[in-house]
Structure 1
Amino acid sequence: MKNTKLIAASSLTMLIVALTSAIIGPLLVPMSESFKLNLSQAGSLVSFRFLGFFLSSVLIGLFWQRSRAGLFLVGSSFLLSLALLTIGFWPVLPVVCVLLFAVGLSGGLVHTGVDSLLSEIYPEVRTKVLNLVHIFFGVGAFLGPIMVGTVLWFFGWWNLVYYLVGMGALVLFFLFLTQNLKETQETFVQTQTGARTNLTYLTKSVPFWLLTIGMFFYVGSEVSLSSWVPMFMAKVRNTSTVVAGYTNSVFWIALLVGRLVFVYLSGKISTSRLLALAALGATVFAIGVFSIASHILIITFLACTGFFASGIYPTVLALGGHTFPNRIGMITAILTAAGSLGGICFPWLVGFGSEYLGLGRGIFMIPVLMGFAAAAFVYFEGRLIK
């Protein structure tokens, strides 16, 4: 595979961005205790990060060009490291809220920038390459809860976790700084139209809306799940804070294994059918996670949820690129923005609902959201068959 240095840098990008996403769920408990937050306020911490992620998608959609890839990747990786390190040194609630927004903004720029760049460079094997690179998202997401549990166990300082991830982001910055992005050659000519023209074209397409709505509900449900499962395990299933944090690693290691399987299946099953089956499987097992009391069965169902969910995000991006090959920057940005919007709204909504219904009932919003995503992707597959 050509451009192996870029693949390596992109893989590290996914690992670091995944760490920033995966640590916030296990850290909700100690951060809530430190800042004396209720459930709704705790969910808002997740929303601050995804608000930044959403803005990054808008910026990518408006300003992304292949010639600006270096500026996007170098600048955003530097801002990411700076924001994470500052949280580590200055854990004060108003500062943390602003910096979580900066983490989401910079992480989203580097994440979506890498997705857009790879989609352009590898049009023929887009699904396989995106799933391959996103395997490292699974690695980072798996390591995140383990890192949180280990740091809390030995040191008890939740902000130390952000400092450690910030050091990793600093390595990513230097890697992009020395990366020669000019050596990548254009594989096809994109349609040279303005952002408004591209957006008008896309919004007239039913497949566009199905993918966008599906991404909105899926990412919202995934972020809500990874954010609230530790709280659910600690407050409803009565596990320790450390054990509750480790539980999330089960979801992410299953997601990692699932990505390997999806890389293998991507050339054997149609992409749209693979997406529909994955979303349906994730929905069914997510219902089981919150329906049973046995810790062993919860972990089993959580692993199955992660396995089926593993291929959804990169496969949606690949389908967007396949369906609109001349508007990759715009479609990637819109799909990412839709997911970010879900990540902003639904973790807070789960917390708000749980304030009134109780966490044991409010958390059932998560499989409902997954069900909505599955319905959109199944309908997308049905339209292709017709």
Structure 2
Amino acid sequence: MNRLVWIACCFYLLIGFTSVIAAALLPELLSHYGRNYADGGNLVFAQFFGFLLGVVTQPWWSKHFGRSRMLLLTLLFIFIGYLAIGFLPAWPVVLLCLGLVGFGSGMIESTVGALIIDSIVEKTAVAMSRLEVFFGVGALVMPMLISLLIVSGAWQMTFFAVCGFALILAYFWRSYYTGNRQLLDRHAPADGESTAASALPAGKGKLYASMLAACILVFVLYVGLEMSIVSFLPSILLESMQVDAALASLSVSFFWGTMVLGRLFCGILAERYGYTRYLLWCSLGTAVVLIGFALVTQVAGAFIMIMLLGLLMSGLFSIALVFSNTLFPGRTEQTTSKLIAASGIGGAGFSWLTGRFMEHNSVWFTQWFLVLVALLMLAFIVLLSRMKPIVKDSAAANG
């Protein structure tokens, strides 16, 4: 089982890489193709659209191919996409291939998350937080590697390097599932069983819909908040404190660094004190620290707030994902897919909205908008903490 977790961590490391490559290489790609930032926006959107499509269609792929073969397919999609981009083809081909990479990444995130939640019975939160650590490490390390390759004039080698990693991972995954097919198949829904296993108890349809809607809103708000912070933190510091551009850009590294640090311990804390208590205290702390960030006037104080934000937000996604799945037993595949799709929409939508606020309103307005998002997230987490799992009544279960 430990080997499964470590291979799953490598999958998350891979999608940590893919999540930042397009943004980190955007200036080089635009310069090479003679494109503008509007075209860059199309590039980012192509990957996001592919990611969303992969997440939404993941249950269908899982049902028809099984998780084992499907994960091999996702690695093939990423390999083909980056291999083609590495040869710097025509711009439309780059857009298409980046969409293919996003498609594979979306399927990996929802599939591996569901697999770990289904397979790891004890200390599920610890296992999920370990995945998030590797995602964060990938998102941190890849820009550093890219900067070295840019300096050496070989930035396109980034794509081939990730292709190599995907091939190595495919080898280890195939070796693992060949010897553990029974374990993986036990947790994957069979064609005829998926509908029956996830059937709702009579009269519980509206309850399920309302509970799922609350979970979806938590993920929309959380990822929207996180992506807004990551995308606009340097700009907020530049506008509000007149700091040096290099120092402002470091703020994201401080945020991600404490995120990774927090993810080392968040699963242990959640298992020890309970999922709901962890989510409540961390979401409350996030709102309080964002208020402090909006009020602070010194650079040192701002960086302290940024690091506290990283620590407090580090486990919200993974612990909320584990807790949400406990509310809907037997529906891990569907629940995980919907929640990760919601997170993608929230990240894109709120980043766009925050950008509009930064452009047309004051930085002060934007900061208090982020506080409002955090407070709304806290309110829905309070609502989630009062919910109980939907279980079949004995009559339905036996009959």
TM-score per shorter chain, which class?
Answer: 0.7 to 0.9
Looking at structure 1, the residues matched to 51 and 322 of structure 2 have their Cα atoms a distance apart, in angstroms, of 20
* SS state at 1:90 partner: coil
Aligned partner of 2:128 in structure 1 is 130
> 1:272 aligned to 273, 276, 282, which one?
276
Contact 2:53 2:103 in 1 (8 A): yes
Deviation at 1:139, TM superposition (A): 1.9
Aligned partner of 1:83 in structure 2 is 81
Deviation at 1:169, TM superposition (A): 3.0
The verdict on how the C-alpha distance between 1:356 and 1:95 changes in structure 2, with shifts beyond 3 A counting, is farther
Aligned partner of 1:113 in structure 2 is 111
Aligned partner of 1:182 in structure 2 is 181
The verdict on how the C-alpha distance between 1:221 and 1:70 changes in structure 2, with shifts beyond 3 A counting, is same
**CA distances 1:106-129 after superposition (whole Å, capped 9, x unpaired):** 111112111111111123432222
Q: Identify which of structures 1 and 2 has the higher relative contact order when contacts are C-alpha pairs closer than 8 Å and 6+ apart.
A: 1
1:1-386 aligned within 5 A = 3-24=1-22, 35-37=35-37, 45-65=43-63, 68-90=66-88, 94-152=92-150, 154-155=151-152, 161-180=158-177, 181-184=180-183, 186=186, 192-193=194-195, 204-205=207-208, 206-230=210-234, 232=236, 237=242, 239-240=244-245, 245-289=249-293, 292=296, 294-357=298-361, 362=366, 365-383=369-387
Contact 1:353 1:362 in 2 (8 A): yes
Contact 1:221 1:367 in 2 (8 A): no
Looking at structure 1, the residues matched to 156 and 168 of structure 2 have their Cα atoms a distance apart, in angstroms, of 19
**CA distances 1:301-333 after superposition (whole Å, capped 9, x unpaired):** 222111111111111211122111211111111
Contact 1:141 1:249 in 2 (8 A): no
Which amino acid in 1 is paired with 2:256?
A: W
The verdict on how the C-alpha distance between 1:201 and 1:126 changes in structure 2, with shifts beyond 3 A counting, is farther
* SS state at 1:123 partner: coil
Looking at structure 1, the residues matched to 385 and 49 of structure 2 have their Cα atoms a distance apart, in angstroms, of 30
Contact 1:220 1:343 in 2 (8 A): yes
Deviation at 1:231, TM superposition (A): 5.2
Which amino acid in 1 is paired with 2:195?
A: T
- Point out the structure with max Rg over C-alpha: 2
* SS state at 1:193 partner: helix
What TM-score, normalized to structure 2?
A: 0.80
Looking at structure 2, the residues matched to 66 and 120 of structure 1 have their Cα atoms a distance apart, in angstroms, of 19
Which amino acid in 2 is paired with 1:36?
A: N
Contact 1:145 1:245 in 2 (8 A): no
Which amino acid in 1 is paired with 2:128?
A: L
Contact 2:113 2:128 in 1 (8 A): yes
Looking at structure 2, the residues matched to 343 and 327 of structure 1 have their Cα atoms a distance apart, in angstroms, of 24
**CA distances 1:213-233 after superposition (whole Å, capped 9, x unpaired):** 101111122223223335556
Segments of 5+ residues of structure 2 without an aligned counterpart are 389-399
Segments of 5+ residues of structure 1 without an aligned counterpart are none
* SS state at 2:273 partner: coil
Looking at structure 1, the residues matched to 248 and 171 of structure 2 have their Cα atoms a distance apart, in angstroms, of 35
Q: How many residues align?
A: 378
Task: Work out the percentage of aligned pairs sharing the same amino acid.
Answer: 23
Looking at structure 2, the residues matched to 28 and 363 of structure 1 have their Cα atoms a distance apart, in angstroms, of 27
Looking at structure 2, the residues matched to 117 and 97 of structure 1 have their Cα atoms a distance apart, in angstroms, of 30
